[in-house]
């Protein structure tokens, strides 16, 4: 606080705090409070709003817990979001280490550009691109059958396969960048010292690099899980007929049934799930919320 006052003066510092408070209250806290309050309201005709039946109730939450299908979709969304997070971690950690400690300073920017350029395309276009690639009569089957590797096409979009592929492709950079930032801040002399003492590569990673990169790993896991669990475009485009995502149910309540009260209850349960996941990641990696937010 004193550093801010000394550097920017009282007026500019007050402006910073005012804008931050406005962002937190008006754009984050207030919408969640409205959603929380709406989730306890009954779904009524407009003529009965504010009447005797317009009272707080738990019926919207009871709808969720009394629906085995919605409970099962909720569980599958959690499970597959965790799987996407794990796959992104397995793919991103080696890439982050290579970019931070192996690639030269001249090569790393080019590699980063190759990774970032596809992400400049909108998520919906990337999802449609994967739909074209993975479809039964799509580009991948055409290529493999054309070169003789397949005698007939393969259905890649079965179950949650397409959703997992699309989510991993869409959010893997949200795992890579925090881990890269954490590994880059590690003094390379520590890695060289471990190698000079005869430490094998796996032990150097386990004892030195991974403990140092824990905040980045935790931050990446939190972001990928929350984005995957809350995704709506990728599951809508790449899902098969027998796969559903929990956000699709929330969307159906709000936009198809126009039941914003029940939809708010479902959305708030998803928010609680994400909050619980953040807490678990903090306990698992023994980091604080400030470490994740870096």
Residues in the chain: 294
Residues 224-252: tens digit of each pLDDT: 999 999 899 899 888 888 888 999 999 98
* CA atoms of 119 and 113, how far apart (whole Å): 10
What pLDDT score was predicted for residue 294? 60
What pLDDT score was predicted for residue 91? 94
What pLDDT score was predicted for residue 6? 66
* Higher-confidence position of 71 and 145: 71
Residues 76-88: tens digit of each pLDDT: 999 999 999 999 9
What pLDDT score was predicted for residue 198? 82
Structural domains in the chain plus CATH codes: 1-29 (no CATH), 67-293 (1.10.3720.10)
What pLDDT score was predicted for residue 176? 93
Q: Can you list the positions of beta strands (E) in 113-262?
A: none
> How many Cα atoms are found within 13 Å in the side-chain-facing hemisphere of 275?
7
Q: How confident is the model at residue 112 (pLDDT cuts 50, 70, 90)?
A: confident
* CA atoms of 177 and 223, how far apart (whole Å): 11
What pLDDT score was predicted for residue 115? 86
* CA atoms of 209 and 133, how far apart (whole Å): 37
**Average pLDDT, integer, range 101-116:** 85
Q: Return the closest-CA partner of residue 209 out of 221, 198, 217.
A: 217
- Asked if the model's pLDDT at residue 289 lies above 70, the reply is no
Phi, psi (rounded to 5 degrees) for 157: -90, 80
* CA atoms of 87 and 161, how far apart (whole Å): 13
């Amino acid at each position: 606080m004193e550093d801010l006052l000394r550097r920017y003066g009282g007026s500019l510092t007050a402006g910073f705090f005012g804008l931050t408070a406005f962002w937190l209250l008006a754009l984050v806290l207030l919408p969640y409070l409205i959603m929380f309050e709406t989730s306890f309201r009954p779904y009524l005709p407009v003529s009965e709003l504010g009447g005797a039946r317009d009272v707080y109730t738990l019926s919207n939450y009871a709808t969720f817990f009394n629906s085995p299908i919605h409970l099962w979709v909720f569980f599958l969304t959690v499970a597959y979001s965790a799987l996407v997070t794990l796959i992104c971690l397995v793919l991103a950690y080696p890439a982050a280490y290579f970019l931070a400690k192996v690639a030269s300073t001249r090569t790393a920017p080019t590699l980063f550009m190759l990774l970032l350029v596809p992400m400049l395309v909108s998520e919906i276009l990337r999802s449609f691109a994967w739909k074209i690639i993975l479809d039964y009569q799509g580009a991948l089957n055409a290529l493999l059958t054309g070169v003789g590797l397949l005698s007939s096409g393969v259905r890649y979009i079965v179950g949650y396969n397409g959703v997992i592929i699309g989510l991993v492709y869409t959010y893997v950079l949200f795992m890579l960048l925090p881990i890269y930032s954490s590994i880059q801040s590690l003094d390379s002399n520590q890695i060289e010292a471990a190698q000079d003492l005869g430490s094998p590569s796996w032990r150097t990673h386990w004892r030195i690099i991974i403990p140092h990169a824990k905040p980045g790993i935790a931050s990446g896991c939190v972001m990928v899980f929350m984005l995957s669990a809350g995704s709506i475009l990728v599951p809508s485009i790449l899902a098969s007929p027998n796969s559903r995502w929990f956000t699709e149910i929330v969307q159906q309540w709000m936009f198809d049934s126009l039941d914003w009260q029940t939809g708010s209850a479902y959305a708030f349960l998803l928010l609680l799930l994400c909050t619980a996941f953040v807490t678990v990641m903090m306990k698992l990696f023994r980091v604080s919320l400030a470490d994740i937010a870096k």
